[in-house]
A and B are shown apart, each in its own frame.
Chain A
Amino acid sequence: MSYAYLFKYIIIGDTGVGKSCLLLQFTDKRFQPVHDLTIGVEFGARMINIDGKQIKLQIWDTAGQESFRSITRSYYRGAAGALLVYDITRRDTFNHLTTWLEDARQHSSSNMVIMLIGNKSDLEARRDVKKEEGEAFAREHGLIFMETSAKTAANVEEAFINTAKEIYQKIQEGVFDINNEANGIKLGPQHNTVNPAQPSGDRGQQGGQGCC
């Protein structure tokens, strides 16, 4: 359970682009073809490893429907990373990216890492948005880009892990203030020396990992 860092992610994007499926594939390694509409926000978590460091990802999967937009906005501030997802078989979901991005930029901390994801890459026959278009959009707005398939699990791990790598790199560069939890980053228990009231058992393994 011990981890060096904890990152908070949110997954955003239009309804039906496969946000919940991406999360399910990442946390449970399974695909559920029929998924209920997400109501509000659902939570998922997984541990990953970057540069030999255990990093805990806490992921909030938001509802894509317009009616939940104001709820979704409450999650931007505390997130270190966002996966902005569109569906490569539905151009409208791609066209809405600008709105999503504006929302995200407006409500999040300026350092939030945004990964643009073109999901459903397994449905090549029904493709409506070219990969190049996604790449161009990402380049233009300074995002990382990937095409994934929650169904075949292609690039799903990479999408979550590459985002974490980017955040980790920003930490190394000192961009993030890791002591401000509003950034969506938390030091692991072994770093946490501030609170004396914490139970001391089961903690304090491998201390002395410098903050930056």
Chain B
Amino acid sequence: MSFFSRVLGGNTPENQQSGADTIAKICDRVQSSTLLDDRRDAVRALKALSKKYRLEVGTQAMDILVNVLETDRSDAEITGYALDTLFNLLSAYIEEDEQNEDLPNGDVRDPEELKLCVQFAEIFIKNPNNIPLVLGLLEDYEFRVRWPAIKLLTTLLSYQASQVQQYVLGSPMGVSKMMDLLSDNREVIRNDGLLLLIQLTKGNANIQKIVAFENAFERLLEIMSEEGGSDGGIVVEDCLLLLINLLKKNSSNQSFFKEGGLILRITPFFNIQKDSSWSAQKVNNVHLMLQVVRILVAPSNPQQATGACQKVIHQCGLLKFLCDVLMASGVPADILTETINTVSEVIRGCRVNQDFFAAVSAPSNPPRPAIVVLLMSMVNEKQPFLLRCAVLYCFQCFLYKNEIGQEQIIATLLPATADVSAVTAGQLLCGGLFSTDPLSNWCASVALAHALKDNPTQKEQLLRVQLATGLGNPPVSLLQQCTNLMAQPSVKFQTRLGLLILLSSWVAHSQLAVSHFLGHPGNVPFLTSQVAEDADEQEVLVQGLCAFLLGICTQFNDNSNKNFTKESLQQIIAKRIGVETFIEKLEAVSKHESYTQAAKKPQLKFDSIDKVLFDYEFTALFKVLEISVIKAIQVGDDSDAKKTVDDHNSIVTQYKDIIRDQDTHLGELKISNEELTREYRKSQSLLVEQSSQIQQLRDQYVLLKAQHGNQTGQGDGAESNEGQTLETTGSSEGSAEHKKQLATLEQSLEDKEKELEELRGRLASTQSADNVDSSAAQNDDSEVTSLKTRLEQQIELAEKYRLQNEEVTSQLQQAGSGNDNSALLAEKAAMSTKMTDLEVRLSKLETDNARLSNENKELSGAKDTMETQLREASAKAANPEIAIALQRVQQERDELTQEVKRLEVEKEGLEGDVKGVRQEMDDLLVLLTETDEKKTIYKQKLEDLNQEVSDNELEVEEGEEEDDDDEDYEGEEEDGQA
């Protein structure tokens, strides 16, 4: 009873009894009434009682209510009441209308009642039909149904998220139905839909992805824009919470967000007007927006994904907006801190963004780089602690994988380049290093360590820095000053840790820095004494780091300092500290809570100022060197360790050499490959050029052929060729030329033929004359014989010519057979057919000649008869008539003789022609041989390039050469005529 009275507040037992009875009655009515109106009234009554009599209604009516949802779904009102009742039963929050309760609105009920709610929720969820049933009701557009269904689901999710999520995933279009709520034009539905989705997406990547697939990003950004962006109200905050749920630890959605161009869409939210007011809501909104950006570029994301997002954030101007916020005035400190953290992660390891950040300047007078302004805050005690940590994080991210940035920072410390007039990063860091504020000391030390990280050049550069300690005192190096400072008894613990972090980072991996450090005789004894002492809990860390520094000095010792060689240091450690103690002290560091905390992630996260002991980058260095340092200080294993290390080193060197050799070899091969490729390309282009030239020449040839066809009447072909050959180049030139000459030759042969015909005609006339008068036959006979011999000679010449022609043809064919170029081949073929034509003509000429000689024989036969006739006639008597006739015959014979003489001259000319043609043939042959040779050379070149050879690269012929040949030919012709 006491339980009930507690639950039901101030009710008396009678009231409870009647309450329970009433509820039982109502339940009965809901189940048994046949009229919908009655059932509806009963459920309404249940709803009214559900807050006051949670236990009774819950235990008796839950199943009945679910039943109502199933059977009376068609009636919105009763469904709505049933859902409201269920919600009232399960909700742990005090509703606005619960006026009778003293508790303020929105508060959680007392634990007992909360337990009851949880139990009812469990019972409700246990039935696998219930969640799909409520999900189905979400589809009902009716406000009285949809709204309580949303609230009920939200409540259920808040109790048993993973189970409800599984139901939602299992029911078809479950997530889609919830996503549709965001498109509801009733704001209440939309806003509560947002709350539902926030609950739904918590910790379930599959649901997050489906929600994103259903265009959640776009929709959320639309709602945020509608609600006024960063100046908007709580709805914007809800949207951002959902956005963060969807993106956090979900690389698929992050990639989708980036690929969807949504980074560009969130950019305007950061365009914060100057001097704008910062309401609490706006602070929340901007803070969450910054979270969204940080999720996209978190250092823990895959480098590729972060890099891609960083690029986009810079490109779409978001980084600029962020930097504007950074430099703006009136920005609340926590927003400023978070903005610094965000900028840090946006620029971390991304050179373009780091360079952009380096160029940002603050709107001060004179304008200073943003980095300097930020560092001023870092070493300023009055600035908020978290802001100072954020600045250090920003500095760390700025220098992460940024050698040029490191160089620029160190340069501001160097004597040669330090600008005295302006405030520089170096000055601020030095100031911080030696200020009286321990946190400033620590931050400046760690910041300097970041400027030296993985950068041997800067480690050595910084050794040059000398500090003036006071009037009259000699300058002290920065390295020594740090050590000196550490030894001062008044120095705080945090400062000493910071300085040890700086010194360890500085001398690690740098033999020169180590020898500088060992150069001061007091340093090693100081460190040894620190480690050897007994110490309290905090001092353990200082001792550990002192041991670490000693170890580094041993490991990276070049033995240049005779007092502190590697071996002597090993002995000092073994004798003064003891190897066991040394290792113990070293291990104490990595076991420390602050160490493990700092090693988790790059961002510095400290609860309070005194927890600031380590930073992420130093823990990384410590992790790497811890083992090797322990090895380096072991005296017992000295020879072995040294040996193995030496062996190891030598092996490494060996491999390095091999790799170097291979590298150079690879480089050579690459170069030669490039050369070969270049040559190959050149050859190919040459081939293309040449083939195009051949094509051109073929065209030209056709043209020339046509021209030549017009020039058939022209006797001297060579002269007309002169002009044309100048225009023609390339391998086919010789052929064209050759062809032209052949044509000329043909021409002259035709002439000759004509002349022969003429001659034949004349001979025929002589014959007839002889028939009339045979007295001249004797002379005639001798002339005919000479004519015959001439003819025979001519035939011989023709035969020779034919042979040469054949030779040239075969040469051409040979050249042609070696030539893959079809164009050239065709030309050659054409040429050879020309040659054959010529041959045919020659053979015709021969037959003509043969016929002529036959005729001559006949003629001589006729002359014989004429002779006999003449003899007979002279024997008969000297007849005056015959004498006259004889005289006439003699005259005619004289004429004939003259004719023959003229013919002879002409024949000589013809002979000269033939000679000339032969000369030309020879020249042509020479040209062809040359061409062949060049071709072979080219082929060889290409073969050297491992290249399939196409044989069409015949070398270009010089027009002048042709001209010379022509001139020679003419000269010879003249000689022959002379």
Q: Which residues of A contact B (CB under 8 A)?
A: 1, 8, 39-45, 58, 60, 70-71, 73-75, 77-78, 107, 181, 189, 195, 197-199, 202
Contact = CB atoms under 8 A, between A and B. Distances in A.
A43 B209 contact: yes
Contacts of A199: 264-265, 267-268
Nearest to A46: B259
A41 B255 contact: no
A40, A42, A189 — which one has the most chain B CB atoms within 10 A of its CB? A40
Given A43-B252, A74-B175, 12 more contacts: A39-B205, A42-B252, A43-B209, A70-B170, A74-B169, A75-B213, A77-B176, A78-B176, A78-B213, A181-B215, A195-B222, A199-B265
B261 A40 contact: no
B51 to A, nearest CB: 36
Given A71-B210, A74-B169, A45 B176 contact: no
Contacts of B209: 40-41, 43, 60
Interface string B263-305: 0110110000000000000000000000000000000000000
Contacts of A71: 169, 206, 210
Contacts of A181: 215
Given A197-B222, A199-B265, A74 B173 contact: yes
Contact of A58 (B253, B259, B265): B259
B205 A40 contact: yes
Interface in B841-874: none
Contacts of B215: 78, 181
Nearest to B166: A70
The 6 nearest A-B residue pairs measured at CB: A197-B225, A45-B259, A40-B206, A43-B252, A74-B210, A43-B256
B214 to A, nearest CB: 6
A60 B784 CA distance: 107
Nearest to A195: B222
A202 B264 contact: yes
Nearest to B226: A197
Interface residues of B, number: 29
B833 to A, nearest CB: 51
Interface of B: 169-170, 172-176, 205-206, 209-210, 213-215, 222, 225-226, 252-253, 255-256, 259-261, 264-265, 267-268, 316
Contacts of B173: 73-74, 77, 107
A74 B252 CA distance: 16
A45 B225 contact: no
Most B CB within 10 A of own CB, among A1, A43, A45, A195? A43
Nearest to A200: B268
A71 to B, nearest CB: 5
A5 B417 CA distance: 56
Contact of A78 (B205, B214, B260): B214
Contact of A74 (B205, B213, B255, B261): B213
Contacts of A8: 213
A198 B170 CA distance: 36
A73 B252 contact: no
A107 B175 CA distance: 13
A107 B171 CA distance: 12
A45 B256 contact: yes
Contacts of A75: 210, 213
A41 B316 CA distance: 29
A201 B213 CA distance: 26
Contacts of B267: 199
A41 B212 CA distance: 11
10 contacts: A40-B209, A41-B252, A42-B252, A43-B209, A43-B256, A44-B255, A58-B259, A60-B209, A70-B170, A197-B226
A189 to B, nearest CB: 8
A208 B265 CA distance: 22
Nearest to B259: A45
A75 B212 CA distance: 11
A158 B706 CA distance: 53
Nearest to A41: B209
Counting chain A CB atoms within 10 Å of each CB, the highest count among B210, B213, B264 belongs to B213
Nearest to A6: B260
A181 B217 CA distance: 13
Nearest to A73: B172
B182 to A, nearest CB: 12
A42 B210 CA distance: 11
Contacts of A189: 261
Contacts of A70: 169-170, 172
Nearest to B252: A43
B260 A198 contact: no
Contacts of B264: 1, 199, 202
Q: Which of A45, A70, A197, A198 has the most B CB atoms < 10 Å from its CB? A: A197
A98 to B, nearest CB: 19
Contacts of B255: 43-45
A73 B222 CA distance: 27
Nearest to A2: B261
A5 to B, nearest CB: 14
Contacts of A1: 261, 264
A202 B317 CA distance: 11
A44 B305 CA distance: 12
Given A77-B176, A198-B265, A58 B256 contact: yes
A74 B268 contact: no
A198 B210 CA distance: 24
B265 A74 contact: no
Nearest to B175: A74
A74 B176 contact: yes
Contacts of B225: 195, 197-198
B386 to A, nearest CB: 32
A202 B213 CA distance: 25
Contacts of B265: 198-199
B172 A43 contact: no
Nearest to B312: A1
A35 B255 CA distance: 19
Contacts of A45: 255-256, 259-260
A60 B267 CA distance: 26
B848 to A, nearest CB: 73
Contacts of A44: 255
A199 B222 CA distance: 11
A39 B260 CA distance: 22
Contacts of A41: 206, 209-210, 213, 252
Given A74-B173, A74-B176, A58 B260 contact: yes
Contacts of A77: 173, 176
A185 to B, nearest CB: 12
Contacts of A78: 176, 213-215
Contacts of A74: 169, 173-176, 210, 213
A11 to B, nearest CB: 13
Contacts of A197: 222, 225-226
A33 to B, nearest CB: 20
A55 to B, nearest CB: 14
Contacts of A58: 256, 259-260
Given A75-B210, A78-B213, A107 B252 contact: no
Nearest to A77: B176
A212 to B, nearest CB: 22
Contacts of A202: 264, 316
Contacts of A40: 205-206, 209
Nearest to A57: B259
A40 B267 CA distance: 31
Contacts of B206: 40-41, 71
A195 B221 CA distance: 11
B163 to A, nearest CB: 15
Contacts of B316: 202
B77 to A, nearest CB: 31
Contact of A60 (B170, B213, B261): B213
A175 B316 CA distance: 36
Nearest to B173: A77
A43 B253 contact: yes
A166 to B, nearest CB: 21
Contacts of A107: 172-173
